[in-house]
Structure 1
């Protein structure tokens, strides 16, 4: 009897353990973390993996080495706030009127006429009717954080806390000093604070802290540097690394970029130390091209071999360094040559998180994962579109039809160009207008752009 009771107890224990193990094996896998890193006004040619040679960027280069580099990566606007509005919503920002920067920044001329200021909606921001990726990931059980530049509205109703973010450290406007000065407006949440650390390094520190505090749960971290946007301010320790660069603006730019790369390196090291390298889907882009307008360069950036600048619809304004890394899931060190756009971030990240996109969201982006892992043939986008006031462009296959700010050619010439046609694979610099040679191609692309344009809202 005593043996039988012992045997029954042993079997019960075995069944309990077995049931417990079965329960563990059936538990769903952890959802991947999402890390979106955005640089500001970065030159197309200024990273090592983009061919840059005078500014070491080992951390950012490691993302390309461990992930997928896109040679035709675009953003939906050629400057800051509109691109971010498209990024956060996954929709062309022109659909809801967020076509210009808040505050009346100049945006190009009247169609066929002279330059004019963009509409001024100072104090406004990303329309409240729009849903952000932070909203969607919060609904999916993620903790959400923003570190860095917001530029989507300074009023309380536009604060990141009201747009789906659980945590915020950074500034609300479009530019900010990198040092603690009288005009510094750094916030933690809604509280202003004094930040003595060089701002780029402070953003890296806060991103590392966010990962440490939330490493046990799925998180979305939007790390939006203001580097290498003006003002041109760098630490002496970084400047000393670039004494061989004689142009002072370029030297300061190099120091600022080096500091951002160092901060990104600390974030990537934190992911590795926390065992989250293969659990984190990482995106890296610039918000637009470098500001090389009027034959000069405002921040020392280099857009070669592209023609054009930030604030123009030429390739130099809208084609950017673009990388996606998900170790163990996407092929490391690969290159993808078909056009993609920052609007693809949201559907790609949602797919990774197992969230089904509702057609009522009307996203313009595409889930890139099946194209990158080889499970889907074809291309993500046959056609991409741009509109910034009277500047506009369409890329359809290998062809681009563009109307751009004439300041890029002969300052102080005003207005916009006529429509020009370029075959990008053979003319990346957009130097040879083929509109007269291929009038039917012009007509085809013009018709496609006009159909898209009919869907858009008036700029706010």
Structure 2
């Protein structure tokens, strides 16, 4: 069964797949593995809503630089991540496996003694190590959230270069977070909020930072490209912006551009997204000036859905960050690579961040470690010919809550969904992106076999290494949540 499950993954959960109205055209990708290995640049935003970029329909947020890349590349209209929260999603990207199989199904909590010595298992080989061993110069800039201690540091997980912060978030203005950090140290506090801690540069504290965080990360990315371009071998850069994750903090000049937005959260959020767009433009300029643009695969995405209570919108998708509904983990995504990825096209079949591991390894002509299990799959052959990479296969999403679990299953045009201890529902996602029309009574056999598939998949989950919040540890034990009691029963629910 494990052999079957490792090819299910991807986008977990339900999307407009096979019979999509937006049919994928055979010519849409025209991309074949080049003899010359490409640079690989992954730009990941944090909590960016599905419709908060121009290429996905944003009207009040301007993202001209990002949109230019998207319009000259291929937009993944059904792009997914492996979990609706930050840390597990990143674990999935780096390992090519569902975070549930790693015991990483919760965020690593900030400032918690229970996470001392914790992080994504060192037995797991990250994609950065695979590429590094294949001769790539590797860099990670920005948010890590995969283990804060030295053993789990990016420099020890395949990255030659790192500049950013190791926790799950950070404040944006250095004069503010530095002052707050120093004040708490002077007061003798042993545990200081992660968002205030000094930035990390290759394992050393960054002294006297001066730039707004998003700008600093962008400028470090430009420096990385400048330096990497002097080397003979290609590079891999994982640029993980903190924006537009809370706290909502934006520069005055960026806020001025969105003064017509009345809602304060939305206005600040928009300004934060705009700062990311500015940085992407600077990075593209650096690639062109260094003669690297034409041989760089750029992948853009968010780590999960937007947080609707903090300025984001995921319309027309239902709900947002933290949800197993589409809005929780179906994210803005595109691929761009001049001459290799088709320009001005949309790919409507599912693509998951779990796929990046084997796909990047293929493009880099790198060897995946023997015995390495993957839930993602190399999508390049299907993507290149406009085909559905997983017709008939089931893909999953799951979030543990306070004593129960929310689950989603996708198979072709069908999506099965169980949330808030309610009964299982069935939707035709091709025709119902908003998950409004329950078809479970019309197609009971379809629902039953999908729920059975999810139950079988759950047998391969690992015990959580940590909990967030910590109170869930006792609930987990008390409710015996590892057994998924009642979760996969069709006749139970409110």
Normalised by the length of structure 1, the TM-score is 0.85
Q: Distance in 2 between matches of 1:208 and 1:85?
A: 25
Equivalent positions of 1:76-225 (< 5 A) are 76-103=82-109, 121=115, 124-180=118-174, 181=177, 182=180, 183-193=196-206, 194-215=208-229, 216=231, 217-225=233-241
Give the total of aligned pairs.
405
Following the alignment from structure 2 to structure 1, what is the Cα–Cα distance between the partners of residues 313 and 115?
31
Superposed displacement of residue 227, structure 1: 0.3
Structure 1 alignment gaps of length 5 or more: 1-27, 106-117, 407-415
5 Å matches for 1:42-441? Answer: 42-103=48-109, 121=115, 124-180=118-174, 181=177, 182=180, 183-193=196-206, 194-215=208-229, 216=231, 217-292=233-308, 297=309, 299-357=310-368, 360-374=371-385, 377-380=387-390, 382-389=393-400, 390-404=405-419, 406=420, 416-441=421-446
Deviation at 1:368, TM superposition (A): 2.0
Residue 245 of structure 1: how far off its partner (Å): 0.5
Deviation at 1:283, TM superposition (A): 0.8
Separation (CA, whole Å) in 2 of partners of 1:132 and 1:287: 17
Contact 1:83/1:288, CA 8 A, preserved across alignment: yes
- 1:422/1:133 CA distance change after superposition, 3 Å: same
State the TM-score, normalized to the length of structure 2: 0.79
* Alignment correspondent of 1:451: 456
Once residues 340 and 365 of structure 1 are traced to their aligned partners in structure 2, the CA distance between those partners, rounded to angstroms, is: 9
The Cα shift of 1:355 comes to 2.1
Q: 2:350·2:388 contact (CA, 8 Å) conserved in 1?
A: no
Q: 5+ residue gaps in structure 2?
A: 1-33, 181-195, 466-494
Q: CA deviation at 1:358?
A: 5.2
CA contact (8 A) 1:95 1:456 kept: yes
- Give per-residue Cα distances to partners, 1:403-422, cap 9 Å, x unaligned: 22x4xxxxxxxxx3322211
1:32 to 1:401, Cα distance in 2 relative to 1, 3 A: same
- Point out which structure has higher relative CO (alpha carbons under 8 A, 6+ apart): 2
RMSD: 1.9
Counterparts of 1:275 and 1:348, CA distance in 2: 24
- Distance between the aligned counterparts of 2:216 and 2:350, measured in 1? 34
Contact 1:102/1:120 (<8 A) preserved: no
The verdict on how the C-alpha distance between 1:178 and 1:372 changes in structure 2, with shifts beyond 3 A counting, is same
Q: SS at the partner of 2:257?
A: helix
Q: Which secondary structure state, in structure 1, belongs to the residue aligned with residue 237 of structure 2?
A: strand
Larger radius of gyration: 1
Contact preservation (8 Å) 1:200, 1:227: yes
Q: CA deviation at 1:189?
A: 1.1
Deviation track 1:339-358 (CA, whole Å, cap 9, x = no partner) reads 11110111111111112445
Residue by residue, what CA displacement relative to the aligned partner does 1:74-99 show, whole Å, maximum 9, x if unpaired?
11100100000000011111111110
Instruction: After TM superposition, give the deviation of residue 290 of structure 1 in Å.
Output: 0.8
Q: For the Cα contact (< 8 Å) 1:281–1:349, is it kept in 2? A: no
CA drift of 1:379 comes to 2.4
Cα drift, residue 268 of structure 1: 1.1
Shift of 1:153: 0.8
Give distance in 1, aligned partners of 2:365 and 2:101.
27
SS of 1:443's equivalent? helix
